[in-house]
């Protein structure tokens, strides 16, 4: 089978690498890909947010039998619907189902209506009303722009002055564009005794009938060590998650995953693809912090390398709604991914820096994100540049291996966190 993968980050490199292992996969194309993906797939230079252009490309390439849509934007724009309406087979939810990520107001309403545990909230499309509500409330308070905002549309405000400023930024100054037409004002969740709640990402395959969680992983969203600095797309991940035991997984399955699948069906929006549950452990049990309509980045970079089952077989079972027939198996052990970013990320950073990579130890692998090759020279081309991944018996072993190999990679301004895999594992 010839396959087109949509996307250009580390997540897509991990997906392409997993698909390339399938005995059924022949040629893989990637739109737009990066320098790492180019070693496994033929890159296609079409803007994947132009869904008509993608449709035209797939129509014209009769050899492509299956398209995997990985990023949030094309899903939210309805790329799955566009390709399906032209008679093509697709992995990824349609536009109405993808709204579980692209509208936080919709996701919160869904959870309230179907009793799925999440932070208490109110939604506003009027600045004055939002402000009046915040003035009466408790602090910290969480403000969330309704739409997609590259993971940056969430503000945690410690006091009224910063909440006022946050509402102004989102709703009046439109710092996140149209994503801020509505705002969700949410209760701040904590762990025991007001310590930050522990967070875990659980990605799950679902065909709208069956839902099968993947192994749990933990992201590090802030730019700097000790969870300081600005929110980013994710600076590193590890699996397994030490507190995500069988009892917690059962609680999440029964109170969150199954009810979410049922709720989406009841709303006439059956979800087919990967559903991402961003969860927090609170004194009242596990709660949903966010849903995503896709694989996480950089969660995928530690989850898929542990998958023993053929990913293409799972994808096709989701598309054909026979996921219940597939046995999905995982390797034992741990995996850690350390993201190497451009200096200044997530705000302002330079591109085009030459990257040098020494001999990596056996069992260490790189997933490329913002990289490109220019006249044979590997250069940076984005904020997150590379993910250095390693497996081990334990997170500690994998972590040591990953960091030993980070030292072998250089580019001007290279920035990374030194504490990936430390939290929850101490
Ligand atoms: P999100 O983009 O929705 O995942 O939010 C980014 C981060 O903000 C999360 O990973 C949490 O650490 C934090 N966060 C979001 N909502 C809440 C909440 N209601 N209470 C506490 N922290 C939150
Ligand atoms: N790592 C968080 C996300 O993919 O949204």
- The 8-class DSSP code of residue 325 comes to G
pLDDT at 198: 94
pLDDT at 193: 76
Domains, the chain, with CATH or none = 2-95 (3.40.50.20), 120-187 (3.30.1490.20), 199-325 (3.30.470.20), 334-410 (3.90.600.10)
Ligand nearest to the CA of 151: 1
Please identify, by atom number, the ligand 2 atom nearest to the C-alpha of residue 219.
1
Q: What is the pLDDT of residue 376?
A: 96
Residue 120 to residue 108: CA distance in whole angstroms: 9
The arithmetic mean of pLDDT across residues 103-111, rounded, is: 96
pLDDT given at position 303: 98
Q: Is the beta carbon of 223 within 6 A of some atom in ligand 1?
A: no
Q: Residue 396: which pLDDT band, with cuts at 50, 70 and 90?
A: very high
Q: What is the pLDDT of residues 195-215, one digit of tens each?
A: 788 999 999 999 999 999 999
Name the average pLDDT for the chain: 96
Ligand that comes closest to the CA of residue 10? 2
CB of 189 shorter than 6 A to ligand 1: yes
Q: What is the pLDDT of residue 184?
A: 95
Give the closest residue to 200 by CA, choosing from 303, 58, 347.
Answer: 303
In angstroms, how far apart are the furthest CA atoms of the chain?
Answer: 60
- The pLDDT-based confidence of 152 (bands split at 50, 70, 90) is confident
More confident residue, 425 or 247: 247
Q: How confident is the model at residue 192 (pLDDT cuts 50, 70, 90)?
A: confident
424 lines ligand 1 (CB under 6 A): no
Q: Contact at 8 Å (CB) between 1 and 65? A: yes
Cα-to-centroid distance, 289 and ligand 1 (Å): 6
Ligand nearest to the CA of 188: 1
Q: Whose CA is nearest to atom 4 of ligand 2?
A: 296
In ligand 1, the atom with minimum distance to the C-alpha of 144 is 3
Asked if residue 232 has its Cβ within 6 Å of ligand 2, the reply is: no
- Residue 346: name the closest of 113, 151, 112 by CA: 151
Ligand 1 pocket member 207 (CB < 6 A): no
Q: Is residue 219 lining ligand 2, measured as CB closer than 6 Å?
A: yes
Cα 233 to ligand 2 centroid, rounded to whole Å: 6
* Residue 394 burial by Cβ neighbours in a 10 Å radius (0-12, 13-18, 19+): middle
pLDDT of the residue at 27? 98
- Residue 151 pLDDT level (bands cut at 50, 70, 90): confident
Please state, for a pLDDT cut of 70, what percent of the chain lies above it. 100
Tell me the helix, strand and coil percentages in the chain, rounded to 5: 35, 30, 40
Q: What is the pLDDT of residues 274-320, one digit of tens each?
A: 999 999 999 999 999 999 999 999 999 999 999 999 999 999 999 99
The residue to which tokens 């737009």 are assigned: 32
Which of 50, 112, 110, 109 lies closest to 82, judged by CA?
A: 50
Q: What is the pLDDT of residues 336-354, one digit of tens each?
A: 999 999 999 999 999 999 9
Q: Confirm or reject: Cβ of 150 under 6 Å from ligand 2.
A: no
Q: What pTM was estimated for this model as a whole?
A: 0.97
pLDDT score for 425: 84
What confidence category does residue 149 fall into, taking pLDDT thresholds of 50, 70 and 90?
confident
Say whether pLDDT at 128 is over 80.
yes
């Amino acid at each position: 089978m010839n396959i087109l993968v949509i996307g250009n980050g580390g997540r897509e490199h991990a997906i392409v690498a997993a698909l390339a292992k399938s005995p059924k996969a022949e040629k893989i194309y990637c739109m737009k890909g990066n320098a790492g993906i180019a070693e496994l797939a033929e890159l296609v230079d079409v803007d994947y947010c132009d869904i008509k252009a993608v449709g035209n490309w797939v129509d014209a390439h009769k050899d492509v039998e299956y398209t995997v849509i990985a990023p949030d934007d094309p899903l939210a724009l309805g790329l799955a619907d566009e390709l399906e309406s032209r008679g093509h087979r697709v992995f990824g939810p349609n536009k109405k189902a993808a709204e579980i990520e692209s509208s936080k107001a919709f996701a919160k309403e869904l959870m309230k209506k179907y009793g799925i545990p999440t932070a208490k909230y109110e939604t506003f499309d009027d600045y004055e009303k939002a402000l009046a509500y915040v003035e009466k409330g408790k602090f910290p308070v969480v403000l969330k722009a309704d739409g997609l905002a590259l993971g940056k549309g969430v503000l945690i405000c410690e006091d009224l002055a910063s909440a006022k400023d946050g509402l102004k930024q989102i709703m009046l100054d439109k710092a996140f564009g149209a994503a801020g037409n509505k705002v969700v004002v949410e209760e701040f969740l904590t762990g025991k005794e007001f310590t930050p709640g522990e967070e875990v990402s659980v990605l799950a395959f679902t065909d709208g009938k069956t839902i099968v969680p993947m192994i749990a992983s933990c992201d590090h969203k802030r730019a700097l060590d000790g969870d300081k600095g600005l929110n980013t797309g994710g600076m590193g991940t590890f699996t397994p998650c030490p507190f995500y035991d069988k009892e917690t997984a059962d609680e999440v399955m029964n109170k969150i995953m199954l009810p979410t699948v049922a709720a989406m069906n009841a709303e006439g929006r059956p979800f087919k693809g990967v559903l991402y549950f961003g969860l927090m452990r609170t004194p009242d049990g596990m709660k949903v912090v966010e849903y995503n309509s896709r694989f996480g980045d950089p969660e995928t970079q530690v989850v898929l390398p542990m998958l023993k089952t053929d990913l293409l077989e799972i994808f096709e079972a989701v598309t054909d709604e026979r996921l219940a027939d597939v046995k999905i198996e995982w390797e034992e052990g741990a995996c850690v991914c350390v993201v190497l970013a451009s200096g200044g990320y997530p705000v302002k950073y330079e591109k085009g820096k030459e990257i040098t990579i020494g001999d990596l130890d056996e069992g260490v692998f790189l997933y490329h994100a913002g990289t490109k090759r220019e006249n044979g020279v590997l250069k940076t081309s984005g904020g997150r540049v590379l993910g250095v991944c390693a497996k081990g018996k334990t997170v500690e072993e994998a972590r040591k291996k990953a960091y030993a190999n980070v030292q072998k990679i250089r580019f001007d301004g290279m920035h990374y966190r030194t504490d990936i895999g430390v939290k929850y594992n101490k």
